[in-house]
Amino acid sequence: MTTATEIRTFTREEFYDFVWSAPATKLSKELGCSDVMIGKTCKAFDIPKPYPGYWAKLSNGKKPKKTPLPKNDDPTLQSLTFYQHPSYEATVNEPPRELQFDDDIHTRSRPLSHSQHR
């Protein structure tokens, strides 16, 4: 049985600061997850993330406003931990894995013949 390795634990406030420190695509590399996972985590923990255009404004010398962290007293939302699962580690300099499908997917993905359209 493979076990997950803890990568990093945040308080809700720490994760808010982390998310507003750099674009999610960069943060995702640090955490070993996708930028989509960061967005989903923000939504689940009621943490606002930078809006579209925030990083562009910042890089052009403007001072865009940060969306404030809303108060949330739910004890289950005060701490979050990211884990790295060994089976999901990124591979580097290895050939891509062959896609695997169930037999029924191969059958359904074939083009329909003229007689099947009727």
- Position 7 scores a pLDDT of 73
- Which mean pLDDT values do the consecutive 10-residue runs of the chain (118 residues) have? 68 96 91 88 94 93 95 92 65 53 50 51
Q: What pTM was estimated for this model as a whole?
A: 0.67
- Position 96 scores a pLDDT of 53
Kindly tell me the number of DSSP H helices and DSSP E strands found in the chain.
5, 2
CA–CA gap between residue 8 and residue 114 (Å, rounded): 56
Beta-carbon contacts of 66 under 8 Å, excluding residues fewer than 6 positions away, are 20, 50
- Position 99 scores a pLDDT of 56
CA–CA gap between residue 14 and residue 23 (Å, rounded): 16
